[in-house]
Amino acid sequence: METAEIETRVEEMARKARHASLALATVPRKDKDRMLKALADLLESSASTLMEENRKDLEAGKAAGLSNALLDRLSLSQDRLSGMAGGVREVAGLDDPVGEVLETTERPNGLVIRKIRVPIGVVGIIFESRPNVTVDCAALCLKSGNACILRGGKEAFHTNTALAALIARALRESSLPGDSVQLVPTTDRYALHCLLKMDAYIQCIIPRGGESLIRFVAENSLIPVIKHYKGVCTLYIDKAANLEMAKKLVVNAKCQRPGVCNAIENLLLHRETAGKFLPEIARALAAEGVELRLDASAAAIIKQAGDIPFEAATDKDWTEEYLAPILAIKTVPSTEAAIEAINTFGSGHSDGIVTADESTAQTFLTGVDSATVYWNASTRFTDGFEFGMGAEIGISTDKLHARGPMGLKELCTYKYTITGQGTVKR
C-alpha cells in the first residue's frame, strides 16, 4: 500500500472503531457472552482452515530462518485451538465489569454523584508473533465493552487474518457491531505509526512484545500507552530468614519457568548471614543448572565453599532480564540497602523478601517501589490468574491507570453521573 492509502485506511478503521465502541459500551452481558461462545465454537469447528493458513506463516518463517522457538510459538495445533477456545469460554464466564457503581455521594446541595465503571472505548493492541494473543485480547476487550484494533506481527499475518475473519463472523452472527474488533490489514510499520496518532478515536494502547517494540510505541504514540518494558525481579534474603524456606523460594522463583517476566534475575543476601546461606543456595541452584554471576563479596564466600562454579558479575548484570537460567547475586549490609538496590536497578515488576521478622518485612513491603512486593513467597505469582482476575491482558509496570496484572476491570475507566432537581450553582 502507498503511504497515503495507509493513512486513509488506518483513520477509517479508527473512526469505525470509535463508532462501534459507543454502541458496544451499552451492550448487555448476555449478548457479549453469546458472541464469545460463538467464537469459541468457531475456533474448534474451523481448525483445519486455521491450520492451513497457519502453515503459510510457518513455511514463510522457515524460509526466513526463524528460530525453532519462534516457529513453535507461532504454530497452531488442534490442541492449541482447543486451548484458545477454552480461554474464550472462560472469559465469557467472568463477571461483566461494566456498570458497577463504585461510589455514591450525596452532596449537601442534594446532588447525587455516582462513580460508575465503564469501558475505556477503543483499545489498540500491538503485539508480535503469538497468534493466541489475537483471540485472547479480542475476547477480553469485547467482554469489557471495548472496541479494539489489533496490530500483529508479520510472522503471523496469515494466521491473524484468518482468526480476525472468524471473530468478524462471530460478531455478525451475534448482531454485535462488526467493527468492534479490527485487524490492521498490513504489518507495514508506517501503519503502526499512523495508528499511534489517532488520539481522536483511540483512547489506550497496550503493546505486548519485546522492549524495542514497546519503546517504538512509547516514543511515537499520542495515545496513552500502558506498558511493561521488562521484568528484572529480585529476591532479598534477610538475616532473619529461615534458610530452608529461602532456598525453596529462590529455586522456585528462578527455576520453575526461567523464561517469564516474573522469574527472578537478581538475588540479594544480607551480609551477616550470606556466609551461611549463600553456599547452600548456590549449590541448590547449581544442581538445577543455573549459572551464577557473583559480585566480589559473594564470590569470596563461594570460593571459600569450594567447588561451586560461577562467573564474576559486571555492572550490566544488575539490570539485565536474562529470561534464562542465570542469576546475579550480591550481598548487602542491610534491608535499607536491599530496598535501595531494588529501587535503583529493578524494573518495578515483582520483588520479594524472605524473613521471619515482621517489622523488617513491613519496611521492605512499604519501601520497595514495585507493582507487586512479596513476603515469604515466590515472585512467580504475578499474573492475572493467580490474582483471581480470571485472565489478563498484560502486566503494567507503569504507575498510571493500572499497575501489575491487568484484567477486565483494568480495561475499564469510570464516569460520573450526577442527578439533581434543577440544581444550579450559586
Q: Does the protein bind a copy of itself through residue 404 (CB under 8 A)?
A: yes
Question: Could you say which residues in the range 276-305 bind a copy of itself, by CB under 8 A?
Answer: none
Q: Does the protein bind a copy of itself through residue 415 (CB under 8 A)?
A: yes
Query: Please, are residues 182 and 13 in contact by the beta-carbon 8 Å criterion?
Result: yes
Question: Could you say which residues in the range 17-46 bind a copy of itself, by CB under 8 A?
Answer: 22, 25-26
Candidate residues 121, 153, 258, 346; the one interacting with a copy of itself per rule CB under 8 A: 121
Candidate residues 91, 249, 298, 301; the one interacting with a copy of itself per rule CB under 8 A: 249
d(CA 255, CA 234): 13
Q: Does the protein bind a copy of itself through residue 172 (CB under 8 A)?
A: no
Q: Does the protein bind a copy of itself through residue 359 (CB under 8 A)?
A: no
Query: Please, are residues 235 and 264 in contact by the beta-carbon 8 Å criterion?
Result: yes
Q: How far is the CB of 249 from a copy of itself (least distance, A)?
A: 6
The three cell numbers locating residue 222: 499520542
Q: Reduced to 3 states, what is the DSSP secondary structure of residue 387?
A: coil
Q: Does the protein bind a copy of itself through residue 377 (CB under 8 A)?
A: yes
Q: How far is the CB of 26 from a copy of itself (least distance, A)?
A: 6
- Among 133, 180, 182, 181, smallest CA distance to 155 is for 133
Q: How far is the CB of 358 from a copy of itself (least distance, A)?
A: 10
Query: What are the CA-CA distances from residue 197 to residues 7, 192, 219, 221, 333 (Å)?
Result: 10, 9, 11, 6, 49
CA dihedral 173, 179, 183, 188 (to 10 degrees): 150
Which residue type is seen at 285? L
The three cell numbers locating residue 79: 490442541
Candidate residues 172, 276, 303, 399; the one interacting with a copy of itself per rule CB under 8 A: 399
Q: Phi/psi at 169 (nearest 5 deg)?
A: -65, -45
**Count of residues in the chain:** 426
Which residue type is seen at 318? W
Q: Does the protein bind a copy of itself through residue 222 (CB under 8 A)?
A: yes
Number of residues that bind a copy of itself (CB under 8 A): 63
The three cell numbers locating residue 187: 504489518
Q: How far is the CB of 284 from a copy of itself (least distance, A)?
A: 13
Under the rule (CB under 8 A), what is the footprint of a copy of itself? 22, 25-26, 105, 107, 111, 113, 120-121, 199, 203-204, 218-219, 222, 224-226, 242, 245, 248-249, 252, 256, 343, 361, 365-367, 369-378, 380-381, 386-388, 398-401, 403-404, 413-425
